[in-house]
Structure 1
Amino acid sequence: MTTRPLSRKPSPSAAVRRFATPPLLLGLCILAACTGKDQPAGPPGGAPQALPVTILEVQPTKVETSVEAVAQTEGAREVEIRARVGGILTKRLYEEGTAIKAGQPLFQLDREPFDVAVAQARAQVAQNKARAEQTVREAARLKGLLAQQAISQREYDTATSDNSAALAAVQSAEAALRQAELNLTWSTVTAPVSGVSGRAAVSEGNLVSTNGLVTTVTQLNPMWVRFSLSEAELNAATPSGRFKPQGVRGVELILPDGSIYPVRGKLNFAASQVNPALGTLQLRGEFPNADGALLPGQFVRARLLTGEREGVFKVPQNAVMQTDKGAVVMLANADNKVEPRPVKTGQWVGTDWVILGGLKAGDKVIVDNLIKVRPGAPVAPHGPGEGPGAPGNKPGAAPAAPAKG
């Protein structure tokens, strides 16, 4: 008997695995191909993206040239009030620290000794006048006798000499009376100028000596401001390069809080020589101070306006960078690439630098993103308020509706 091997029918699960595998691989290949096709391509050659920057297109202008210095205010007149005569102070006639006028009584000394001196001087004048009249009559009588040769010439000359002495005594007594009357007037101490009174240096009952200090008066209107500047600073701030007091256009005052005094002053003094110890020139400005806003002794800043310079440029202070080779600004050139430009700076005017050299009309100065820009890098320049961060230009914002006719 011949035996045949039994044939085994394949199971359904094995068939499924054999025929399911190829479609799965095909699906994965198709998915990979589609994914690669939809992937965005990067910038060709790795070129950098342009950086948005704000630019300022500069044009030449003119500015006032100035130089500043620390200054101190002082009254136009600071007067020490002193007693012209000595005596006992009986009364103070003013309120300390208040405004007073020229000629106003401030102190009263004891008047009685001065009244007595005046009375004595008047009595002496009367006595000397009586004696002078007597000598005049005697000289006239002797003159007649001399004509009759009843007396000698010597007797007449003696009488004439006595008459001259008597007349001189009258003049001396009258001068003493005038002095006594002045002393009586000076027993009332008055203010020589108008201003603000100071603290009384003496009180009632004290003995005031002749020329003794009793108080002070400070004239506050106008107010003076003293300051000093070196000759190099003055010449550098003058357009002609040579400082002349006659060319000063005025003086501005910067108060301790940083504000500017509303009224411009004038230069009323410039020293004729430089201080050899400090190398500075002493200057003084004068300012009206009718409302008393300025007080003596304040530390302020004086800005001396030395003239006017034309053909300069003004750029924001943050646009100027200081390097080891000097000041530099960054420009956006015609190809919209960053171009560093060395410049010569002058003074500050508000929040701007004055550029004396290095720029020309139409240059586009970059004023922001200066930390990110590099020489030669591409930029996307725009004017102030026109960049991506400007109102109305935010991502996803709807375009502005056109204005109606």
Structure 2
Amino acid sequence: MIRRFLLVSSALAIGGVLAACSDSGKTPAAGGAGAAGAQQQAAAVGVITLKKGDFPITTILPGRAEAFQTADIRPQVSGIIREITFREGGEVKKGDVLYQIEDAPYLAAVAQARATIAKAEASVPSAQSNFDRYQRLVGSGATQIEFETAKTNLLQAQAEVESAKAALAAAEIDLNHTKIIAPFDGIIDQTAYNVGNVVAANQTTALTTVRQIDPAYILLTESSTNLLRLRSAIAAGEIKGTGGNDAFRLILENGKEYGEKGTLDMSKSVVSETTGTFTIRVRFPNPDRIILPGMYVRATLELGSESGFALPQLATSRNANGELSAQFVSADGKVENRTFENASPSNNAWLVTEGIKDGDQLIVSGLQSITAGMPVKPTEMKINDKGIVVPVAPPAAGGDAQQPAAK
């Protein structure tokens, strides 16, 4: 009995020692895990330090490119196409011959008209002589009727000469129209007719089309809700593009900004009854022919400037109420979410005038891994010309570090 008690006591004693050792081993591990968790909560984020300044107020309008001039080429005389002198899709200059229509019948018509003139002119001297003779004899051997008849014959002979000259001019015009020329400099489309095809004067089907695309027109559309504001800005001269200055910048279909700036050319004063929009036409230089008719583009229009803080669009979002929202670093190093009721577009940013002060740090990267109230470790960043967030270059310390060595 005593032996059994001793065995049980020994087992309990050993179990207590093992439990104590296990507890002592777990306590430091738990403490280490808590410290590691605290370090993981301080997420690394990129920030930019905001400073109040004057920024442009802009609006972005959708639009479509159109040619500056477009001409459908049609024949003005009938005949067979003898020659096509242009390269389809190539450039043509004003006055270049595009099509040559068979001109033999028109050359014959010109020759015939010249012969008719010669015949008409040959009868004029005889009529003139007869008129002069009766003019001298009127009242002394010649009757008034004979004089009037001679006068009429002279006038008819002269009229026949003028008529023949007019017929010659018409024949020469038709002959010139056998050469179909380019009306202006531009790009020519493919031809709808080939050599040997018969064409008719003023036919409905065009032979080809010539488009002038330098400069190019951009037709922008805007909703009627902004009509009064835009027209007032134009009338007040707040749009810097009026009067020859550049105010429009263009974003192409590939998302890149076009290198040239545009000027306001025309603004319609009538709102479409079907779409509720109005049209603004802008002219852009297009020397490299980057803008092609039919392209869909977006134009940025500067309406003026305002003092405030520019929040890059890549660092903002909209909440369920449609309010602009952004994440900031608070004074105690935690994530602070702010919303703004009023924000105006300013190029690739939102211009905010309230709720921000100089020196506030806006979080621009690492937004996916943070939530409001989370501790963060900010790193100063900047947004380059391409809209990419990159670290701010650290100050050049190499020179300072080498100065002691030089001494």
Q: How does the TM-score come out when normalised to structure 2?
A: 0.74
Q: Which residue of 2 aligns with 1:274?
A: 271
Which runs of no fewer than 5 residues in structure 2 stay unpaired? 32-37, 382-390, 393-397
Q: Which residue of 1 aligns with 2:401?
A: 403
1:223 aligns with 2:222: no
Instruction: Indicate which of 207, 217, 239 corresponds to 1:214.
Output: 207
In structure 2, distance between residues paired with 1:264 and 1:139: 74
1:61 aligns with 2:53: yes
Q: Which residue of 1 aligns with 2:387?
A: none
Deviates more, 1:321-330 or 1:220-229: 321-330
Q: Which residue of 1 aligns with 2:358?
A: 361
In structure 2, distance between residues paired with 1:87 and 1:261: 46
Q: Which has the higher helix share?
A: 2
Q: Which residue of 2 aligns with 1:6?
A: none
Identity of aligned residues (%): 28
In structure 2, distance between residues paired with 1:245 and 1:272: 16
Question: Is the CA contact (8 Å cut-off) linking 2:58 and 2:346 kept in structure 1?
Answer: no
Q: Which residue of 2 aligns with 1:86?
A: 78
Q: Which residue of 2 aligns with 1:135?
A: 127
Other structure's SS at 2:380 match: coil
Instruction: Indicate which of 371, 380, 401 corresponds to 1:384.
Output: 380
1:201 aligns with 2:199: no
Greater C-alpha Rg: 1
Q: Could you list the per-position Cα deviations for residues 269-294 of structure 1 after superposition, in whole angstroms to 9, with x for gaps in the alignment?
A: 22232222211111222222222333
Instruction: Indicate which of 154, 170, 181 corresponds to 2:161.
Output: 170
Measured at CA, do residues 370 and 364 of structure 1 come closer, stay the same or move farther in structure 2, by a change above 3 Å? farther
In structure 2, distance between residues paired with 1:275 and 1:71: 15
Kindly state the Cα deviation for residue 380 of structure 1 after the two structures are TM-superposed: 5.8
Question: Is the CA contact (8 Å cut-off) linking 1:53 and 1:379 kept in structure 2?
Answer: no
In structure 2, distance between residues paired with 1:175 and 1:218: 35
Q: Could you list the per-position Cα deviations for residues 343-377 of structure 1 after superposition, in whole angstroms to 9, with x for gaps in the alignment?
A: 12222633x43325433334444445576443xx4
Q: Which residue of 1 aligns with 2:343?
A: 345
Deviates more, 1:301-310 or 1:326-335: 326-335
Kindly state the Cα deviation for residue 305 of structure 1 after the two structures are TM-superposed: 1.6
Q: Which residue of 1 aligns with 2:388?
A: none
Kindly state the Cα deviation for residue 329 of structure 1 after the two structures are TM-superposed: 3.3
Other structure's SS at 1:354 match: strand
Q: Could you list the per-position Cα deviations for residues 60-83 of structure 1 after superposition, in whole angstroms to 9, with x for gaps in the alignment?
A: 223333333333222212211111
1:292 aligns with 2:289: yes
Deviates more, 1:158-167 or 1:78-87: 158-167
Instruction: Indicate which of 176, 181, 197 corresponds to 1:190.
Output: 181
1:73 aligns with 2:62: no
Kindly state the Cα deviation for residue 318 of structure 1 after the two structures are TM-superposed: 5.0
Question: Is the CA contact (8 Å cut-off) linking 2:55 and 2:346 kept in structure 1?
Answer: no
**Residue identity opposite 2:307 in structure 1:** G
Tell me which stretches of 4 or more aligned residues in structure 1 moved more than 6 Å: 38-42
Instruction: Indicate which of 98, 102, 111 corresponds to 1:110.
Output: 102
**Residue identity opposite 1:289 in structure 2:** N
Question: Is the CA contact (8 Å cut-off) linking 2:62 and 2:299 kept in structure 1?
Answer: no
In structure 2, distance between residues paired with 1:114 and 1:317: 68
**Residue identity opposite 1:61 in structure 2:** G
In structure 1, distance between residues paired with 2:302 and 2:325: 27
Deviates more, 1:360-369 or 1:196-205: 360-369
Q: How does the TM-score come out when normalised to structure 1?
A: 0.75
**Residue identity opposite 2:143 in structure 1:** S
In structure 1, distance between residues paired with 2:272 and 2:182: 35
Q: Could you list the per-position Cα deviations for residues 30-59 of structure 1 after superposition, in whole angstroms to 9, with x for gaps in the alignment?
A: x89x969x97998xxxxx998467554322
Kindly state the Cα deviation for residue 101 of structure 1 after the two structures are TM-superposed: 1.3
Q: Which residue of 1 aligns with 2:300?
A: 304
**Residue identity opposite 1:203 in structure 2:** N
Deviates more, 1:174-183 or 1:92-101: 92-101
Kindly state the Cα deviation for residue 210 of structure 1 after the two structures are TM-superposed: 0.5
Deviates more, 1:301-310 or 1:169-178: 301-310
Cα RMSD between the aligned structures? 3.7
Kindly state the Cα deviation for residue 242 of structure 1 after the two structures are TM-superposed: 4.3
1:317 aligns with 2:310: no
Measured at CA, do residues 207 and 313 of structure 1 come closer, stay the same or move farther in structure 2, by a change above 3 Å? same
Measured at CA, do residues 245 and 262 of structure 1 come closer, stay the same or move farther in structure 2, by a change above 3 Å? farther
Other structure's SS at 2:207 match: strand
In structure 2, distance between residues paired with 1:119 and 1:143: 37
In structure 1, distance between residues paired with 2:148 and 2:257: 82
Other structure's SS at 1:384 match: strand
Q: Could you list the per-position Cα deviations for residues 240-283 of structure 1 after superposition, in whole angstroms to 9, with x for gaps in the alignment?
A: 97455952443222222221222222222222322222111112
Kindly state the Cα deviation for residue 217 of structure 1 after the two structures are TM-superposed: 1.4
**Residue identity opposite 1:226 in structure 2:** L
Deviates more, 1:76-85 or 1:306-315: 306-315
In the alignment of these two chains, the number of paired residues is 357
Measured at CA, do residues 342 and 292 of structure 1 come closer, stay the same or move farther in structure 2, by a change above 3 Å? closer
Question: Is the CA contact (8 Å cut-off) linking 1:64 and 1:305 kept in structure 2?
Answer: no
Question: Is the CA contact (8 Å cut-off) linking 2:96 and 2:181 kept in structure 1?
Answer: yes
